[in-house]
Chains A and B, each alone.
Chain A
Amino acid sequence: MIEALQYQFFQNALIVAIFASLAAGIIGTYIVVKRMSLISGSIAHAAFGGLGISYFLNANPLIGGVVFSLVSAMTIAIFKKKAGNRLDTLLSFLWATGMAIGLVFIFLTPGYATDLFTYLFGNILLVSKMDIIMIGVLDIVILAIVFLMYNSFLSVLFDEEHSETRNIPITIVNVILFGLIALTIVATIRVVGVVLMIAILTIPAATAQLFHKTVKKIMITASMITLFAAITGLCISYYLNFATGPIIVLIISSIYVVSIFLSKLSVPHFNWAFWKS
């Protein structure tokens, strides 16, 4: 571990792990309490289209990722109400079309598509200086907006209709929230990739929700779980020479399973007699 810390690439990976964990834990909490995991899955896969185009143009892939995820997030935010029951059709469309665009451009790019795998499944050990700066900026934007708009977000997420009667600008709040989801997805693509994204955005928050009453506390615990999983996964990946994404997701999933068991145990009226009989 100490020896690994001497390497620049390992330091970079560690910094990105911290940034991504904070964003994923906080925005993931909103995704879980409002049951928006399919929406985030759709945005993540749509972002892959942008990654492919950037890759083809030899630009930083995260730039294309930001554009595609923001556009798809805004499309969902705007048409969510109109689509009603048909929302899943829109989500499937963005999900598959984004993937298809990304794949086409990656196959069009000359040479062997080594990076394909890392964007699909994540490899935090391969981040560049530029990635760190971009992810750092995204993180600051996400944290600042959530801090400032915490009460507006809570009101709109909990009860949109009541918020409207209290004159909260719900459309603006929703658009900003979806923008944050999009940015968070881009900030975490390096860590777990688009396919495993849903795990890092939802499972830590779902775990934290077992133990806490408020959104604020769930955010803190979810970020801690993600951070722990990211750093542990990073070390395991380094020594086993294995992609980080799947390892991190497996750690997160294990914590969830153990937590469900623990939360059942701590129920005060747990019926021990049932087990004895």
Chain B
Amino acid sequence: MKRKEIIKLEDVSFSYTNEEFLKNINLSIYEDDFLGIIGPNGGGKTTLLKLILGLLNPKKGKISVFGDTPRVGREPIGYLSQFKDIDFDFPITALEIVMLSRVGKKLFKRYSKQDRQAAEKALKSLGIWNLRDKKLNELSGGEKQRVFVARALANDPKILLLDEPMLNLDIHIQEEFYEILKKLNKKIAIVIVDHNLEMLSKYAKEIVCVNKCDTHTIRYHDVGKIKMKEISHD
């Protein structure tokens, strides 16, 4: 059976200033992918995800998301941004956070029974339904991360984009989390930015490196079944 391509980047370049930051990127993501993204700090991993989500526009090249432009096609993407952008003191409960991915275009959105059920399902699938009324800053690091994954799942996405969700989490929680992703990957595609090559080589089906990767590192961790490729060259 032929794998369905859901996201495609063709010759994509991007720059914040005059200097090109990402150059001629070609990348295809398929419906059953478990893709790890690695690369140096400040090397453009987050930028790559933001381009796919239509939060940034490429300077050159074409991005297709579910057969459309990113802004039109991004609806079935579940996104987990880097935690450093979140205000953890915001007065909001776990359930409220998860419900937010059901708000959508309508300015006067009222939650339906369906919305509530979707949020409940997402929280239960991550085993944190019992934490639903906890305030964000009452949760531990691992619990917070699950809440944000539940938010990404509450909209029945076909693909999850996760930007360094493992930062500052201890190794057992990371392993547990990768097991959850493995289960999810039976139904949806997973794209994860992470520095932990050991974990990635155990769970990811493919790893790509964005910008100026240290080839020595790649070879060292290259495990037989993993296909490794570099998608940006200088």
Contact = CB atoms under 8 A, between A and B. Distances in A.
Contact of B100 (A33, A155, A161, A213): A155
Interface stretch (B6-14, B90-98, B123-131, B168-176): B90-98
Interface string B97-108: 101110111111
B100 A159 contact: yes
B181 interface: no
Interface in B58-114: 74-75, 77, 79, 81, 85-87, 90-93, 96-97, 99-101, 103-111
A215 B86 CA distance: 16
A163 to B, nearest CB: 7
B87 A158 contact: yes
Nearest to A209: B91
Nearest to B80: A162
A172 interface: yes
A158 B107 contact: no
Interface string A148-162: 110110110111011
Nearest to A32: B91
A173 B90 CA distance: 19
Interface in A132-187: 148-149, 151-152, 154-155, 157-159, 161-169, 172-173
Contact of B91 (A163, A172, A212): A212
A76 interface: no
Contacts of A173: 107
A70 interface: no
Interface residues of B, number: 33
Contact of A172 (B54, B97, B107): B107
Nearest to A167: B105
Given A33-B91, A209-B91, A214-B91, A161 B108 contact: no
Contacts of B151: 162
A218 interface: yes
Given A165-B74, A168-B103, A151 B97 contact: no
Interface in A199-236: 209, 212-215, 218
B201 interface: no
Given A149-B108, A151-B103, A159-B100, A167 B74 contact: yes
B162 interface: no
A169 B81 contact: no
B79 A165 contact: yes
A140 to B, nearest CB: 16
A158 B105 contact: no
B77 A165 contact: yes
A170 to B, nearest CB: 11
Interface of B: 53-55, 74-75, 77, 79, 81, 85-87, 90-93, 96-97, 99-101, 103-111, 133, 135, 151, 155
26 contacts: A33-B91, A151-B99, A151-B100, A151-B103, A152-B103, A152-B106, A152-B109, A154-B100, A158-B100, A159-B81, A162-B151, A164-B55, A165-B53, A165-B54, A165-B77, A166-B103, A166-B155, A167-B74, A168-B103, A169-B107, A172-B107, A173-B107, A214-B92, A214-B135, A215-B91, A215-B92
Interface of A: 33, 148-149, 151-152, 154-155, 157-159, 161-169, 172-173, 209, 212-215, 218
Given A151-B111, A152-B103, A158-B100, 16 more contacts: A148-B108, A152-B107, A152-B108, A154-B92, A154-B96, A158-B90, A161-B55, A162-B79, A165-B54, A165-B55, A166-B100, A172-B107, A213-B135, A214-B92, A215-B91, A218-B91
